[in-house]
Each structure stands twice: as C-alpha cells, then as structure tokens.
Structure 1
C-alpha cells in the first residue's frame, strides 16, 4: 500500500497571500505562456485568463500572431512577443492546445530552450513528449490518455484504474523523467521524483468539459511564479485544489446540490472568488 498524503484547504492557503504595500507586479509573479495554435487558439486564451485571475502580476504570451490577437482581444493587459530577458519570468507554461505531430522544427527548438533554462515549467498536452531530458524544474500535467502514452514512451508498465495502482504509476513516471507528475482525474494525484504522492479531491464532475485543463495549466503557472523555491508537488496540489474549488463555485455545488453545467471560462472567472475564500 502506497502512502498518499491528502491535500486540504489549509494546505492550499499556505501558498496564497494578499499583496502588501511593498509588492509590485514582479513580486506577485511573472508567468510566460507558449501555448495554443492556429487550430486551438482558445487554449492560449484560457491559460492566459487563468494566470491573470490566479493573481499573477505580469503575464507574457509568446505564440503565433493569430493566437496572440485572440489573447489580446480577451486580455489586453497581456504582453505579447518573445521575452528579451527583462520580464523576470518566474514560470513557463507550454504545450496547451498544441499537437506534437504538427510542431515545426523551430517550435521544437524554442520549447527545448525553455526546458533547458532555470525557470520552472508547466508542461501540458502537446509538449509532454519533450519532458524527458529537460534540465529546468518541471511539472507535467497529463490526463489519463496522455499519461498512458507517456508510460508507453518511458516503458513503464500500464496500470489499473484502482487508486493505489494510479499512485504507483504516477510515482514511477515521476522517477523516470526526474520531474513532478500531476495525473488529472476525479481524484488528482501528484507525484514527485522522490516517491511522495499527494491526492487532491476538490473538484466536481462538471469539470469534465473541454478547456478546463488549459485553465488548470494557467493556474499552475501563476502559483508556481508566486512561490519561487516551493516544492513543485505542493505547488501542483495547491493549484489543482484551487482549480477544483473554482469549479465548484462556478457550478454551484458548494452547498451540496447537483449543480449545473459550466464551461472552462466559468472556472477561470471564478478563480478570484476561490482565492478570496482561501484567504478568508
């Protein structure tokens, strides 16, 4: 039996604080995103929205012009274009809304440069194949099918859907790639390379809708940038808890009722209320 730590609201609260009079935008965290694609521009829009609404002080978007236009139409506060080293990036988010089968050589080079840097990276969706060999601290965020492909790539034995088997599989993959794994699900599991596993149960079934993973990636980037030096497993668990709590607020399930359907942007827009609740 694998020992699994249950993550709580009070655990999450340790990674959030209200800004003080001496904080500036850089102190609140700088998030850079290289996400989205002409086929899936919404992924970039949702991730940027979530990073802003999770408390980031500065958000930069790097990507195709068409996608950048969509980001700016929704969030004009965002800085677009390549970072020239002046924005003090505290965390990167890469891969959301992209397909490795359609990735150009230039894009692969740019992503590998990010993964060779010192800023921690949230690796989502279409960039998961680049995680092995990354030198930057990183967190991968696969859903079940992406995780199965990652296991196959790493030659890790497939697992059953039982919680103990999922925890062991997440732990094995984390050890193989030398990074933190956030395995999405009704019960999200976070495993670090040293073998520790955290479970997060804070969401709702209404989260099972397109785009909510893109929102989660933006949340994780913001929490990561705001907590330099924090253990990535705890950052991941806090971000997952906040994301789930925002979904419950959006879906109206906090009082225990059945709730109602939501879309991904509803979750992003509920994030400030979820943070307010955590800080109360």
Structure 2
C-alpha cells in the first residue's frame, strides 16, 4: 500500500475538537494532570521543553519525575511544576534519554508505567520498551527510530512507503504510531490513518520533538479528565491534533521572525502554542 493511497488530511476543525475551554466549575485536576518521565544528565533540556509544552497546551497540572539536574532546570524554568509522584491521567516518557545508558531501576519504573492503564506517549529512548506494553500507547518515532522498532517487532525492512510502514507497525504493535516528518503520518492499529501537514521546514531543529511529546501528552490528559476513553482511534485523533498544534506553533513562531519566516528554536515553538490553542478555541 503506497502513499498514493488516499488518506484524509487533518484539519484545523479536527484539531479544535481535541480542545476544551475551561469553565468556572473546573479546577486543576479536572483540566488534566500529565506526568513526564523524560530527560537525562546528558540531555536535561528535553525535560524542560516537554514540561514547557505541556503547560502551554493548557493542562491543570504537570508532574515531572527525572534526574536531579533535569529537575532543577525544570523548576527553574517552570516553578509551578510538581516534582513529586502522584495521580496522573497521561504519561510522556523517553524524550531526551538513551536506552543504552538507562539504569535497571529506570527500566523497571518505565515498564511499570507501560504495564498500567494510564495512556503513555513513548518517545526516543523508551521506544525499545513499547513492544508488549499493556498500557494504551502513542509512539512517536522518526524514520530511523521506526526502522529499529520494526526490527524489534519482526517486520520486514521498510520500502520507503511511510503510510504503509506506519499502518503495519501500528497493527503489529497494537498501538497508535505517529511517524514524524515534513508530513506526519498517524496510524491506529484499526487501520485508521491521517496525514498532518501543518508544519514548516523551520521545525527541523533540535528539541522540537520533545515539544511535540508534551503537547500530545497534554491533550491526552485533558481528554482523560473529561472522561473520554483512550481507545486506539481516540488516541490517534489526539496525536494528530497534537501534531497539528505543534506544526502550527512552529509556523507561528517562524512567521514572527519576519516576512516568509525565519529560524526558530524549540522553546520558541513551545511559547507559540498558547496562541495556536487560543485561535482554535475562538473559532
């Protein structure tokens, strides 16, 4: 099945359905609580970017659990973050980590999350733990990471058909796959698939994937707080909406530099997320 197969693109209206304006009766818990277990001593900035993005997307609380250096940087940037364990409605794991340097204790902690019932967004250094996980999952590989994940699942080597690869991987994994790229492919294990094309080439810079994980995790936590069941296609829609918001935030940040766009950093993208969310809610 090639990319010539007709797959509907994700739209502004589709993305808006993942959001909800808080009401006078809401509190920090009813707006969603996200937990992030991300970052490392080598890559502490990934934790800062994911936490920043989660807050900017509009959750009621962000919990962060990670190494001391990353925790200190997270709290310096976002002191409202809760650096203690507790109830969460979605997890983001793996951003800014390397499986080759993961301790046994950390592996055990991640496996416990992946064996639970709370939805988990799995990125980067935790993708090797995704096969066999029981929790509802969204995995967010780039092309090289998808190849490694397919090898772990016993799938044949990719022939370059990104849509077919994402679909096949989603079925084999039993989880939603978000394949990053200039066009982002989102596939659920049911066969449901969409393409998100709201991005800008200026997003091809370090750390923007960490921002994407925080945005998606925040949307999943918000949906869980509203009582929405985390079935595969629901997670696919949330992942696609997160990719749309992330891509539009990148375009917004690039446009703010000047006519025709210009260079942005990952933190610029995270800081543009509230404008995108506000625009979607207003429409």
TM-score class normalised by the smaller sequence:
over 0.9
Q: 1:80 aligned to 58, 63, 83, which one?
A: 83
The alignment partner of 2:8 has SS state of strand
Q: How does 1:236-255 map to 2 (within 5 A)?
A: 236-252=239-255
CA distance in 2 between partners of 1:266 and 1:276 (Å): 17
Q: Does 1:275 align with 2:271?
A: no
The aligned counterpart of 2:192 is 196
CA contact (8 A) 2:176 2:187 kept: yes
CA distance in 2 between partners of 1:43 and 1:254 (Å): 24
Question: What displacement does 1:127 show?
Answer: 0.1
CA contact (8 A) 1:143 1:185 kept: yes
Q: Does 1:67 align with 2:70?
A: yes
- In the alignment, structure 1 segments of 5+ residues that lack a partner are none
Q: TM-score normalized by structure 1? A: 0.94
Question: What displacement does 1:150 show?
Answer: 1.1
Q: Does 1:36 align with 2:50?
A: no
The alignment partner of 1:26 has SS state of coil
Question: What displacement does 1:96 show?
Answer: 0.2
* RMSD, aligned CA: 1.4
Q: Does 1:13 align with 2:9?
A: no
Kindly tell me the number of residue pairs found equivalent between the two proteins: 272
Question: What displacement does 1:3 show?
Answer: 4.1
The aligned counterpart of 1:110 is 109
CA distance in 2 between partners of 1:67 and 1:26 (Å): 25
The aligned counterpart of 1:156 is 155
The aligned counterpart of 2:203 is 207
Q: TM-score normalized by structure 2? A: 0.93
CA contact (8 A) 2:257 2:263 kept: no
Q: How does 1:74-153 map to 2 (within 5 A)?
A: 74-83=77-86, 88-153=87-152
CA distance in 2 between partners of 1:51 and 1:33 (Å): 9
CA contact (8 A) 1:203 1:247 kept: yes
The aligned counterpart of 1:258 is 260
The alignment partner of 1:4 has SS state of coil
CA distance in 2 between partners of 1:279 and 1:153 (Å): 40
Q: Does 1:221 align with 2:217?
A: yes
